[in-house]
């Protein structure tokens, strides 16, 4: 463990990256934020808890940060370029939350120098470790799948209209993942009837999916964005084990396809 992230190395050709699982905001930063923001409400709550037993069963590696996306968003490009030009989104170092409200007290927003410092101290080490683990698994197996595990509230008007589908699979419109694996995953989603789903809808895959997916080099990257109401209470952030169990079974089916792809 480091103060920035944990990596549990596995033996399967599968790396599960959970870049928004962390919720910690260092006190020096939190003191400059509005009280509501200090709770880091836009965390991908409990995705580590969802994925941990599945990773153990499959022998997958898991990379998880300790820090909140409010410190620096690990799934955004380090130069701050937009992922979805023309659409609302939060940035590399967010200054507003998903509700559009400011995160920082007046005059306390991070400067350009501070943003670069956060990139150097937090963003770069995570990506360096992610790259190294992918290369290790690729060298051992000749192929590897990077699985980006995400979740979000089912209603976020700033980002999308109406209610988000339960399961949102993204492969950068097929660029980050080979067609065979994408077809297998899509078929698996279509074969289950419990959860609504979409492939390459509002969430096509963030920076990590797009940057590291190189199917021509046998590195496949897939993002799964979950609607949080399927495994937790979205108001209290409390985990709901009864809801989570059937969801985990569907995710496990998808991950098995990745291991055997």
Q: pLDDT at position 159, please?
A: 87
Domain that holds residue 58: 5-260
- pTM across the whole model: 0.95
Best CA proximity match to 15, nearest among 119, 139, 122, 120: 139
Q: pLDDT at position 2, please?
A: 46
List, edge to edge, every strand of the sheet that includes 14-17. 5-8, 61-65, 14-17, 144-152, 219-227, 167-170, 197-199
**The two structure tokens encoding residue 31:** 């003191």
Query: Is the distance from CB of 64 to CB of 48 less than 8 angstroms?
Result: yes
Query: Is the distance from CB of 73 to CB of 91 less than 8 angstroms?
Result: yes
Helices (H), 16-72: 27-30, 47-58
Best CA proximity match to 75, nearest among 210, 224, 165, 247: 210
β-strand pairing of 61-65 with 167-170: unpaired
Q: pLDDT at position 86, please?
A: 65
Other CB atoms within 10 Å distance of the CB of residue 252: 16
What three-state secondary structure class fits 62?
strand
Report the chain (261 residues): mean pLDDT per 10 consecutive residues: 82 98 96 97 98 98 97 93 69 94 97 97 97 98 98 91 95 97 97 96 94 98 98 97 98 96 54
- Please identify which residue in the block is written with the tokens 């990256």: 17
Burial of 94 (0-12, 13-18, 19+ CB in 10 A): buried
Query: Is the distance from CB of 72 to CB of 126 less than 8 angstroms?
Result: no
Q: pLDDT at position 81, please?
A: 76
The CATH number linked to 245 is 3.40.630.40
Q: pLDDT at position 1, please?
A: 38
Other CB atoms within 10 Å distance of the CB of residue 91: 16
Distance CA(89)–CA(181), nearest Å, equals: 29
Distance CA(114)–CA(236), nearest Å, equals: 32
Read off the pLDDT of residues 168-222 as tens digits, 9 standing for 90 and up: 999 999 999 999 999 999 999 999 999 999 999 989 999 999 999 999 999 999 9
Residues 6+ apart with CB under 8 A from 133: 7, 9, 15, 61, 63
Identify any residues that bridge with 197 across adjacent strands, giving them in sequence order.
167
Q: How many domains does the chain have?
A: 1
């Amino acid at each position: 463990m480091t103060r920035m992230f944990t990596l549990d190395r596995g033996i399967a050709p599968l790396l599960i990256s959970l870049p928004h699982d962390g919720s910690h905001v260092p006190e020096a930063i939190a003191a400059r934020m509005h009280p509501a923001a200090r709770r880091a409400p836009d965390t991908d709550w409990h995705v580590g808890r969802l994925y941990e037993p599945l990773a153990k069963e499959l022998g997958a590696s898991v990379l998880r940060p300790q820090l909140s996306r409010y410190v620096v968003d690990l799934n955004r490009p380090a130069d701050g370029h937009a992922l979805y030009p023309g659409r609302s989104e939060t940035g590399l170092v967010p200054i507003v939350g998903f509700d559009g409200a400011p995160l920082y007290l007046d005059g306390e927003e991070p400067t350009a120098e501070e943003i670069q410092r956060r990139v150097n101290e937090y963003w770069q080490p995570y990506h360096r470790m992610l790259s190294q683990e992918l290369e290790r698994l690729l060298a051992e197996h000749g192929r590897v799948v990077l699985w980006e595990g995400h979740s979000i509230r089912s209603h976020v008007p700033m980002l999308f209209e109406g209610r988000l589908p339960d399961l949102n699979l993204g492969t950068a419109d097929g660029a980050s993942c080979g067609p065979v694996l994408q077809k297998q995953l899509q078929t698996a989603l279509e074969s289950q009837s419990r959860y609504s789903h979409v492939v390459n809808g509002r969430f096509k895959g963030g920076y990590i999916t797009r940057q590291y997916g190189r199917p021509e080099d046998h590195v496949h990257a897939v993002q799964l964005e979950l609607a949080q109401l399927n495994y937790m209470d979205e108001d209290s952030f409390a985990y709901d084990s009864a809801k989570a169990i059937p969801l985990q079974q569907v995710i496990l089916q998808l991950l098995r396809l990745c291991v055997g792809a």
